[in-house]
Structure 1
Amino acid sequence: MKRRTLITAGPAAGLLAMTPFASRAHADGWRTFEVVTRVEVTSPTGQVMVWVPLPLSQDTDWFQTLGNSVTGNFSVNDDVIDPNYRAGICSLSFKAGEAQPVIELTSRFRTRDRKIELKPGGGVLASAAEQAVYLKPTEYMPIDGIVRETALKATRGARTDLEKARALYDWTVENTERNAKTRGCGVGDIKAMLESNNLSGKCADLNALFVALARSVGVPARDVYGVRVADSKRGYKSLGKSGD
């Protein structure tokens, strides 16, 4: 499948348009996709920099990056890998005074469905080092104070990690709601959310809330974000269509 993303960045607002194309499947379940992201900066002032997310930097048994290429009138291209979560970012700088900064990033990758058995011995146990990464607090996701207090109340009586995760999921569903008026994807400041008792927001708020609650009671958890490139085989309307 090819998917084109056009982003026009200006001083006031941005435009995001996406168009899906054909896909290619393999007998072993792998499907290959190509995503093209074009960024045009209108009315630039001073030094212009552009950051574009890259596909997973580490291959897994369900996702493999095949390559990234970028064109445009930038002066410096310096890809960055986040040291904690290994997230890849295409970082581009333009010469001061560039009249119309523009870049086009093409990413090719392949992916396939996976299923995890939520029972003892049903999966591959992550190492202690791998789990430790997803137990640490962050600036906006503390795991002490009101966060841990809330998680302990929500998981009262739960003994295993799976029981705690289910209890926290149920608590999140029952106590939070999506707020369409929230700007962007939200900021994910969960301490402020809990202290104000305003448990509404968007993905970066609600996902981060669950993750921090889980980490605070010793359950490794992480946020996962991405761009939909194919329709859900299970028909989940909440996941949207690949052309949305």
Structure 2
Amino acid sequence: MKNPTRPTIHRRRLLQQGAAAGLLAPLLGALPARAQDAPRRFAPQRADWRSFEVSTTVTVADPQGTSRVWIPAPSVETDYQRSVDSSWSGNATQAAMVSDPARGVRMLYAEFAPSVSAPTITLVSQVRTRNRAVDWSHSEPVREDPATLRAALAPAELIPLDGIVRKTATEATRGAHTDLEKVQALYRWVVANAHREPKVRGCGTGDIKAMLETGDLSGKCADLNALFVGLCRAVGVPARDIYGVRLAPSAFGYRELGANPANLKGAQHCRAEVFLKAHGWVAMDPADVLKVMRQETPDWIKDPAHPLIAPVMQGLFGAWEGNWLAYNTGHDVTLPHAAAKGTLPFLMYPNGENSSGRFDELAPDAFRYTISARELKA
């Protein structure tokens, strides 16, 4: 039985072959000659706070009638992120910080009268972020608001918890008894069975029922981490997606785990976290494991025990790097004052509409929005 204070992530095939719990240890020590320049470890530790200024500018490309724009704003206040200030400028007829009434997702809302010929709005947010890592050697019961836990166990429109979702989660966690064991099993299951698909638009939609029913477990972060979150919820482990954007290159040398701060279009990234009774909220990111496997090198690496992948597989079970900003944790988000009806699966991109209809938030050049960041001196 694994030591519950030091969880180790292994590939299912290796477990079936009776590999020891310490199998990954020698893999972390040295890399083969053909990968000498690859990162040797990915182990974010608590570090000093970093300060960033993030700017999002939206220009309505084809103003028709009244134009409306919504820009996600940081609404996560935790021990790994602090919001400092947000301000906006532009020629909006009216602008204000608003929230989805059911989820509390914060955003800047801007409205432009038909007389405004070139609608433009810029949101500037200052945040402080830092690495996040659980101390597996320390455990004690953690209290959390029951309402928060209920929300992290509830189904969403694209994340049902019955039917094939519950069946899959139950099968994947067979033999697991504690919440930690269940999360370990599901993390391994997602990495072993799903894969990153670069051709998916944006970050995906997170329709996990369709993924499981079709057997097509490909996608991007909003699909892959939603799958993990839904499976966790289906077996009674509170879990949630956290929607945000990468801000800077990774300090660990992995190209796919960082971003170019001068141009963050396409840098949006969804992470995940689970609530463990003995550790509280714990960072998780199986989607980034799959991203490194698929895109870090020209060759698709399909073995999680590969020397390039093993450190990320291990590190992202319980840790994040603080080069990322969290916007919110909301599913089924309503845009206040929107003419178009219905909800969004999540709010991670600028959105907009006018009399011609809803803009395509996944086409930043056609929608005409830019996102950039700069790190501020302490």
TM interval, shorter chain, is 0.7 to 0.9
Q: Distance in 2 between matches of 1:50 and 1:70?
A: 13
Q: SS state of the match for residue 186, structure 1?
A: coil
Whole-angstrom CA distance in 1 between matches of 2:171 and 2:143:
28
Deviation at 1:125, TM superposition (A): 3.6
Greater RCO, 1 or 2 (C-alpha within 8 Å, sep 6+)? 2
RMSD: 2.0
Counterpart of 1:50? Answer: 69
Rounded to whole Å, the distance in 2 between the matches of 1:119 and 1:159 is 20
The one-letter amino acid of 2:170's match is: L
In structure 2, which of residues 233, 240, 259 is the aligned counterpart of residue 222 of structure 1? 240
Q: Give the residue type in structure 1 aligned to 2:165.
A: V
Displacement after TM superposition at 1:50 (Å):
0.9
The secondary structure found in structure 1 opposite 2:89 is strand
Give unmatched runs, 5+ long, in structure 2. Answer: 1-46, 265-378
- TM-score, L = length of structure 1: 0.81
Q: Which runs of structure 2 are paired with 1:16-31 in the superposition (5 Å)?
A: 29-31=48-50
- CA separation of 1:131 and 1:183: change in aligned 2, threshold 3 A: same
Q: Deviations over 1:54-81 (max 9, x none)?
A: 112x532221111110111111223222
CA contact (8 A) 2:248 2:258 kept: no
For residue 176 of structure 2, what is the aligned residue in structure 1?
Answer: 158
* Structure 1 unaligned blocks of 5 or more: 1-27
Q: Equivalent pairs: percent with the same residue?
A: 49
Q: Which residue of 2 aligns with 1:33?
A: 52
Verify the 8 A CA contact 1:45 1:97 in the aligned structure 2: no
Give how far 1:216 is off: 0.6
CA distance in 2, matches of 1:70, 1:187: 29
State the number of aligned residues.
216
User: 1:170–1:84: structure 2 CA closer, same or farther, 3 Å change rule?
Assistant: farther
Q: Residue type of the partner of 1:195?
A: E
**Corresponding residue for residue 15 of structure 1:** none
Q: Which residue of 1 aligns with 2:79?
A: 61
Q: 143, 148, 154: which one pairs with 1:136?
A: 154
Q: What letter corresponds to residue 95 of structure 1 in structure 2?
A: A
SS of aligned partner of 1:188: coil
Q: CA deviation at 1:93?
A: 1.1
Q: State how far apart, in whole Å, the 1-side matches of 2:214 and 2:229 are.
A: 19
Distance 1:232 1:80, change over 3 A: same
* CA contact 1:176–1:206 (8 Å) conserved in 2: yes
Change (3 A) 1:161 1:119: farther
Shift of 1:167: 0.7
The 3 A distance-change label for structure 1 pair 84 and 165 is: farther
